[in-house]
Amino acid sequence: MNKNLILDIETLSEQSGKIVSLCLNRPETGNALNGALIAEMHQAFDLIEQTPTRLLILKANGKHFCTGADLNWMKQSRALGKEENHQDARQLARLIQRLDQFPAPTMAVIQGAAFGGALGLISACDIAIASQSATFCLSEVKLGLIPAVISPYVIRAMGVRQARRYFLSAETISAKQALRLNLIHQRCKEQELSSTVKALCDQILQNAPVAMTETKRLINDISHQPIDENLMNLTCERIASIRISPEGQEGLSAFLEKRAPGWREPSADEKPSAEEQHHD
């Protein structure tokens, strides 16, 4: 990988796993997407998928999160045939799918502009936090194109009715509107973005890693399914399995024994006093 993407893997502890940060680092282009950046992100995922990860953060360096497709990349696409364009698009489609299906929690941190393909990356993340001044746009129809590759994820986030407006109008969406449209979960002042993200990261890291992975799988498996006997059996099977798992047993034991579970550090009120330690 070169400097189009910064990959940072922070070890929490030997038992706790790692926080992984992917930072788009093409600030001079507004972190626009091109073939090289997408290829680097695939390389990063190849490495990350071999790493016990507790949390994956997608962010960007500079004024903007991502201004969409790079102009030079779009120029090159004009010279490609249909099959070559198909293969080119598939690299982005596969990248968004890898982000969407990542087993650990994922979080997008957005500032400035998030246009075009950026909306696919954001919608594929579990959580999206944006600064109040962030702007969003599904701008493809302005260029005679369509938001095809990102559409499954964006429509899932905002719903068909809203997609019919914003895919067709290509109007700019404010952070306030993006919150209403479910494109983001929270907006905050730009100077508070880092602290807001840190607080949420700290909250997530309190939770059991396998349980979070299984929760993501559960959401994916039951979404839009009829609530019938088959679905009830599936959900009962999932909770029965997790209750008898090592992590489930540890979590219940820790709760009953009023101690921190093995996947996190105890808080101040959970730590034994010096007198209790001496008594032991």
B/e letters for 7-34, b = 16+ CB within 10 Å, e = fewer, are: beeeebeeebbbbbbbbbbbeebbbbbb
Does residue 269 have a pLDDT over 80?
Answer: no
Please tell me the class of the 209-279 domain: mainly alpha
Q: What is the pTM assigned to this prediction?
A: 0.89
273 or 97, which is more confident: 97
Write down the pLDDT at residue 185. Answer: 98
Residue 274 has a pLDDT of: 44
What is the DSSP secondary-structure string of the chain?
--TTEEEEEEEEETTTEEEEEEEE--GGGTS-B-HHHHHHHHHHHHHHTTS-EEEEEEEESSS-SB-SB-HHHHHHHHTS-HHHHHHHHHHHHHHHHHHHT-SS-EEEEE-SEEETHHHHHHHHSSEEEEETT-EEE--GGGGT---TTTHHHHHHHH-HHHHHHHHHH---EEHHHHHHTTS-SEEE-GGGHHHHHHHHHHHHTTS-HHHHHHHHHHHHHHTT---SHHHHHHHHHHHHHHHTSHHHHHHHHHHHHTS--TTSPPPTTTSPPHHHHHH-
CA dist 255 and 186 (Å) reads 30
Task: Kindly provide the b/e burial profile for residues 227-263, where b requires at least 16 CB atoms within 10 angstroms of the residue's own CB.
Answer: eeeeeeeeeeebeeebeeeebbeebeebeeeeeebeb
CATH 1.10.12 location in the chain: 209-279
Across the range 256-271, mean pLDDT stands at 76
The mean of the pLDDT values for the chain is 91
Start-end ranges of CATH 3.90.226.10 in the chain? Answer: 5-204
Q: Which residue has the tokens 């960007």?
A: 60
Q: Is the CATH code 3.30.200.20 the one for domain 5-204?
A: no
The residue assigned the tokens 């890693």 is 209
Is the CB of residue 118 less than 8 Å from the CB of residue 186? no
Q: With a cut of 80, say whether residue 171 has pLDDT above it.
A: yes
pLDDT digits (tens, 9 = 90+) for 110-143: 999 999 999 999 999 999 999 999 999 999 999 8
In which band, very low, low, confident or very high, does the pLDDT at 276 lie, cut at 50, 70 and 90? very low
Counting residues of the chain whose pLDDT is more than 70, the rounded percentage is 92
How many Cα atoms are found within 13 Å in the side-chain-facing hemisphere of 219? Answer: 11
> Tokens at residue 200, please?
């949420």
Q: Phi, psi (5° rounding) for residue 83?
A: -65, -40
Range with the poorest average pLDDT among 67-81, 126-140, 154-168: 67-81
